Amino acid sequence: MNPDFAIILNFDLQQTNKFDADLLVKTARNIGVRAVSGSEALAAACQKYTIALIADPEGVHLNSFASVIDELVANRFEGKTTIIDIPVNEDGTFSEASQELFAELNDWMHMFGHALNEGEISNLVSDHGHILKNRHANYQEYVFLKTPLPETITVTGLEQAPARVDWIENRVEQAFTFEDGKLMITLIAPDREFSWNVLRIQAHRPEDDLGETKF
């Protein structure tokens, strides 16, 4: 299964045969989910909206809608996918609880979904939160920090100072020092504090040493 699937929406269609496949798949796409499961009847809609259809999803089933972000983050730090079971009503609609879940996921995933989906376990260690490395751009590391935010954090495991440290939310750079293998970051609160916030550490790359090209 593609490791970029942090979440799979598993539609429970046992109570209905009147569902709108397009509606189900678009719901997943619109909240930043890249894969669904539930029925082969979703295949055409998945192809239409570029969403993966997983016949036998592997992962950890969400325990509670109320703790969805906490569980997503915790599972990802263990390299696991979260499967969210979504019952579909007899008339093809979603329950109020499911709609509230979608709203919460939409809010958080549109800001941090790429870091969650594309993150893998990192060798770096933070004294607050947890760190994932971008599997497609390994010079980027993501520090997931739970609210309330600390004033400073210390990250170990880097061989040299990073090029920059900023919040994903607003790209505001954070002040840092690097000494004896320890990256100490002083945090300025982002514009909005989510339940989990994500700090990006961009490592120093060889191309950062290149001078300006003049024509």
Question: Residue 214 has what pLDDT?
Answer: 64
pLDDT in tens, 121-139: 999 999 999 999 999 999 9
Question: Residue 2 has what pLDDT?
Answer: 85
Q: How many CA atoms lie within 13 A of 164 on its CB side?
A: 7
Question: Residue 57 has what pLDDT?
Answer: 93
Question: Residue 14 has what pLDDT?
Answer: 83
- Compute the distance between CA of residue 56 and CA of residue 41 in angstroms, rounded to an integer: 15
214 part of a folded domain: no
Same domain, 183 and 111: no
pTM: 0.90
148 part of a folded domain: yes
1 part of a folded domain: no
Across 88-116, average pLDDT: 96
Helix (H, G, I), strand (E, B) or coil at 41: helix
What is the domain count for the chain? 2
Instruction: Evaluate whether 41 touches 14 at the Cβ level (below 8 Å).
Output: no
Same domain, 24 and 104: yes
47 part of a folded domain: yes
Number of neighbours of residue 103 by Cβ within 10 angstroms: 11
Burial letters 135-170, b for 16+ CB under 10 A, else e = eeeebbbbbbbbeebeeebebeebeeebeebebbbe
210 part of a folded domain: no
Which pLDDT band, with edges at 50, 70 and 90, does 79 fall under? very high
Domain end: 117, 140, 157, which one?
A: 117
Range of the structural domain that residue 57 is part of? 7-117
Average pLDDT, the chain: 93
Same domain, 67 and 148: no
Same domain, 86 and 168: no
Instruction: Evaluate whether 81 touches 7 at the Cβ level (below 8 Å).
Output: yes
Question: Residue 16 has what pLDDT?
Answer: 75
Domain end: 66, 82, 117, which one?
A: 117
211 part of a folded domain: no
194 part of a folded domain: yes
Smallest CA-to-CA distance from 25 within 5, 53, 6, 3 is with: 53
Q: Please give the sequence-ordered ranges of beta strands (E in DSSP) within 4-149, or none if there are none.
A: 7-12, 35-37, 52-53, 60-61, 82-87, 119-121, 125-126, 130-134, 140-146
Same domain, 169 and 197: yes
Same domain, 166 and 93: no
Same domain, 147 and 59: no
Domain end: 79, 100, 117, which one?
A: 117
pLDDT in tens, 2-30: 889 999 999 999 877 789 999 999 999 99
67 part of a folded domain: yes
Which pLDDT band, with edges at 50, 70 and 90, does 1 fall under? confident
User: Where is pLDDT greater, at 211 or 35?
Assistant: 35
